[in-house]
Amino acid sequence: MGMEFARITIDSERMGGVPCIRGLRIPVAAVVDMVAAGMNEAEILHDFPDLEGEDIRESLRYADKS
């Protein structure tokens, strides 16, 4: 991919190897889907209090490079 994503983890033993946020069971795709559905950062962080704003931004960068 050419770009490092410090907040994105891929572990075949967790979530079947789906890219997730910081080892949590929150898939990058779920975050991207929420943004695509029109949710703003505050709404996403309310729904997933373990996330941080930078997690959302990095998820979008990751999806853009995938």
SS (H, E, C) the chain: CCCCCCCEECCCCCHHHCCEECCCCCEHHHHHHHHHCCCCHHHHHHHCCCCCHHHHHHHHHHHHHC
In the predicted model, what is the mean pLDDT of residues 32-53? Answer: 98
Domain span holding position 20: 8-65
- State residue 60's pLDDT score: 97
Nearest to 58 by CA among 25, 37, 35: 35
Average pLDDT score over residue span 32-37: 98
In a domain, 25, yes or no: yes
Q: What is the pLDDT of residue 45?
A: 98
- Of residues 4 and 53, more confidence is placed in 53
pTM, full prediction: 0.89
Report if residue 3 sits inside a domain. Answer: no
Q: 54 lies in a domain?
A: yes
pLDDT (0 to 100) of residue 1: 44
pLDDT for 3 equals 62
* Token code pair at residue 36: 């695509």
Residue 50 pLDDT > 80? yes
